[in-house]
Copies of this chain bind each other. A is one copy, B any other.
Amino acid sequence: MKGKIFAVGIGPGDPELITIKAINVIKNSHTIFVPKGREEGSSIALSIVKEVVDLKGKQIVEVFFPMVKTKYEEYKKEKAWNEIVESVYERLNRGENVSFLTLGDPTLYSTFFYIHRKLIERDKNIEIHLIPGVSSITACAAVSQSFLAVGNEKIAILPANYIDSYDEIFDQFETIVLMKVHVVFEKILEFLRRRNLIERSVYITRAGMEGERVIRDIENVTVDDKNYFSIIIVKK
């Protein structure tokens, strides 16, 4: 097998926050796989890359990751993944290089994990490279001038869905980064009010994209600010 697959972190959204390595890897790939979720939309990853790489002559494959709620949907997702893996595998066998785009960094909450596992199951000799990218976490920290850690401080990165069970963690850590905050925002507000941490929190949405907002009074977050690209940083 001569082809290689690269999971390419393209950064948080600002085309300028792509690395030289990501650009070079995409340039040297025959096919670009672009994951397309319900909320992310393929257009974002692809439009970021188009700003800095000429994609003429490359094959673009949009792959859809369905959200799973039922057994039937689970079956459809498995089927979708297996098709992606087969499609990648065919190309690698032909000696083609493949790039699989991921927003932010491929090791942080990216769907590539599942593809990675299935590719290795398919053939353990497949050459897979992960290309790190600027994560949305540090992009949000930068735009809000929040220093995530200084000296011996500890950082916790937490999906917000389980906010109710995080009391002990909030006791132990100096910095808490809450991900996926838009779905359970009211629960987060309640939690932070109870812990007296409202004034220690900042809400950042669409860092480096159009519509970027840094909201320091998080009681004032509006419906428009609640989207997939939002995080809350709490500095105690």
Q: Which residues of B contact A52 (CB under 8 A)?
A: 20
The digit string for A52-84, where 1 denotes a CB below 8 A from any CB of B, is: 100000000000000000000000000000000
Say yes or no for A3: interface residue by CB 8 A criterion.
no
Q: Are A18 and B16 in contact (CB under 8 A)?
A: no
Contacts of A97-152 to chain B: CB distance below 8 A: 105-110, 113, 116, 128, 130-135, 138-139, 141-143, 145-152
> Is A156 engaged at the interface, CB distance under 8 Å to the other chain?
yes
Instruction: Tell me which residues across on chain B come within 8 A of A162, comparing CB atoms.
Output: 152
Residue A19 is within 8 A (CB to CB) of chain B in the complex: yes
CB <8 Å contact, A154 and B157: yes
Does A159 make an interface contact (CB < 8 A)?
Answer: yes
Q: Which residues in B have their C-beta under 8 angstroms from that of A12?
A: 132
Contact, CB under 8 Å: B156 / A154 = yes
Residue pair B172, A168 in contact (C-beta under 8 Å): yes
Q: How far is the CA of A168 from the CA of B168 in the complex (A)?
A: 9
Q: Is the interface of A mostly helix, strand, loop or mixed?
A: mixed
Q: A161-193 interface mask toward B, CB cutoff 8 Å, 1 = contact, 0 = none?
A: 110000011001100000000000000000000
Which residues of B are found within 8 Å of A172, using beta-carbon distances? 168-169
30 contacts between A and B (CB under 8 A): A9-B134, A9-B138, A11-B19, A12-B132, A17-B21, A19-B134, A105-B134, A105-B138, A105-B141, A106-B142, A107-B138, A107-B142, A107-B146, A107-B148, A113-B147, A113-B150, A116-B147, A128-B145, A130-B141, A130-B143, A131-B142, A132-B139, A132-B142, A133-B134, A135-B138, A149-B157, A154-B158, A155-B156, A155-B157, A168-B172
* 4 nearest A-B residue pairs (beta carbon): A16-B21, A130-B142, A107-B141, A155-B157
- Give the B-binding residues of A (Cβ under 8 A): 9, 11-12, 14-21, 23-24, 52, 105-110, 113, 116, 128, 130-135, 138-139, 141-143, 145-159, 161-162, 168-169, 172-173
